[in-house]
Amino acid sequence: MKKIHLGFLFLLLATLTSITISPAFATNDSDRDGVPDEIDGCPNLQEDNEGAIDGCPSNFVPWYDEDFDGIQDDIDQCPNVRENYNKFQDTDGCPDSPPGTGSGIPDSDSDGFVDVVDLCPTQPETFNGYQDTDGCPDNFTSTIDSDRDGIVNHLDSCPLNAEIYNKFQDTDGCPDNVVDSSFVDTDNDGIEDKIDFCPTQPEIFNGYRDTDGCPDVALDTIFVDTDGDGIADKFDTCPNQPETFNRYADYDGCPDSLPSFSGRLNDSDSDGVLDADDACPLVPERYNGFQDEDGCPDIPPYSTDIDSDQDGIPNSIDQCPAVKETYNKFQDTDGCPDFVNSNGETPDSDKDGISDYADLCPTQRETSMVIKTQTVVLILYLQLIVMEMEF
């Protein structure tokens, strides 16, 4: 009996050793959750490894159908897009087109998103739980470009408004001129009128002063602008001093106030109007909206004080109200057009002690009133003597 048992054990051992044991490999795992499709209860939905490992997420509801196409999400290859039921692959849950028929809705990349709603119609969606409804093979660095302007959404400041490529801020993804009642841009150069120095002339975006709104000339060998104010030296009255651009004489190339300037241009009263153009070079302009370009501290037209000769000195204090003051640093407040000699003295041609500018007879000496009075008294006295002699 023992021999029979022993022989049986040898036979069983030989049988077992002849069996080849091979490891099992999954042939397919559509949702890449580590559970082979053949035992995955939800081959298109990833296992979240919570609770039972059946291939379905823990919150899975077997009868849930997100796109309401009658195919449950666990077997729907396009759970977010409805099946179109055209008798071609009607059980996959995707709105496909029969090959060769040209009918149905095109889905070029066969990812279940028809081309008209697929942001990447030639690249299939990856269905990785990140933006799975856009139709793009995205990852956490998405390449979605909603406005199709060539700038992906995560880099696009205006993802729903396409960029206008006009060489002005072309990398921000925004159209340069936003339709807004508060945004006025007359020349359509993308620079609002209130900060545009040339609101009716579009900026030339050439990398040189592109924010001032003016069509300036690019720096080259012909264009020389020493002070960098955008005005070429050959047109710039002050080539070494930049223009201040305050809408007052902005085209001469000079700052409006040059108190320390001692060259060929002078502005003695520092009012921004050069002496050559200043009717009152020693009295600063009073910028009151009335004749502000003449350089004189004039009086508005609504004032009761009149300045007939328009020399900046009102008639009430002007000793020569009909003749302009000369402003030569000699009695410039009296309102009279006086002058001085090269030696700084006031001329007196007839040497009568009265300067020529105030002398009604500058070439004839004044006769003293005392002499005239004595002469008259002497004549009257002689006449009385003659009359007495006659009586």
Place of tokens 């050959």: 234
Tell me the percentage of the chain whose pLDDT exceeds 90.
Answer: 0
Q: How far is CA 351 from CA 337, 364, 369, in A?
A: 20, 9, 16
Domain region containing 341: 304-346
The whole-angstrom separation of Cα 218 and Cα 278 is 34
Q: Would the pLDDT of 389 be above 70?
A: no
Asked if the structure places residue 9 within a domain, the reply is no
Question: Under 8 Å CB-to-CB from 182, ≥6 apart: which residues?
Answer: none
List Cβ neighbours of 303 (8 Å cut-off, separation of 6 or more): none
Report yes or no: 82 and 68 within 8 Å, Cβ to Cβ: yes
The answer to whether residue 242 scores a pLDDT higher than 80 is: yes
Contact 317, 334 (CB under 8 A): no
**Helices H / strands E in the chain, number of each:** 2, 0
Structure tokens at 157: 């400041």
Asked if residue 116 is part of any domain, the answer here is no
The span from the CA of 313 to the CA of 27, in Å, is 105
For the cut 70, the answer to whether the pLDDT of residue 202 exceeds it is yes
pLDDT tens-place string over residues 50-105 = 888 888 888 777 667 777 777 887 788 888 787 877 777 778 888 776 544 444 67
Q: What does pLDDT average to over the chain?
A: 73
Is residue 263 situated within a structural domain? no
Q: What is the pTM of this model?
A: 0.19
311 within domain boundaries? yes
The identity of residue 328, as a single letter, is N
Report pLDDT digits (tens) over 343-365: 656 677 788 777 776 677 777 78
The conformational region for residue 70 under phi > 0 = left, psi -120 to 50 = alpha, else beta, is: left
**Alpha helices for the chain (secondary structure H):** 2-17, 369-390
Which of 132, 87, 126 lies closest to 109, judged by CA?
A: 126
Residue 320 lies in a domain: yes
Distances 356 to 325, 338, 342 between C-alpha atoms, Å: 15, 9, 15
What share of the chain has pLDDT > 70, as a percent? 69
Q: How many angstroms separate the Cα of 103 from the Cα of each of 85, 93, 96, 98, 382?
A: 12, 17, 10, 7, 143
Q: What is the C-alpha to C-alpha distance for residues 14 and 131, in angstroms, rounded to an integer? A: 58
CA separation, residue 91 to residues 52, 96, 124, 211 (Å): 27, 11, 19, 60
4-18: pLDDT as tens digits:
555 555 555 555 554
> Is 327 exposed, middle or buried, given 0-12, 13-18 or 19+ CB atoms closer than 10 A?
buried
**DSSP per-residue string spanning 9-42:** HHHHHHHHHTSPP-----S--TT-SSS-TTT-S-
SS3 379: helix
pLDDT tens digits along 124-178: 887 766 677 778 876 545 677 888 888 888 788 888 888 888 777 888 888 876 4
Per-residue pLDDT of 252-293, as tens digits, reads: 788 876 443 344 557 778 887 777 778 888 888 877 767 777
How far, in Å, CA of 235 to CA of 251, rounded?
A: 9
Tally of domains in the chain = 1
Q: Is residue 328 part of a domain?
A: yes
- Whether 309 is covered by a domain: the verdict is yes
Query: And the tokens for 175?
Result: 């159209």
Q: Report yes or no on 330 lying in a domain.
A: yes
pLDDT, tens digit, for every residue of 24-63? 444 688 778 888 888 887 877 788 888 888 888 887 776 6
**C-alpha span between 116 and 171 (Å, rounded):** 27
**Is residue 228 within 8 Å of 241, Cβ to Cβ?**
no
Give the span between the Cα atoms of 47 and 34, in whole angstroms: 8
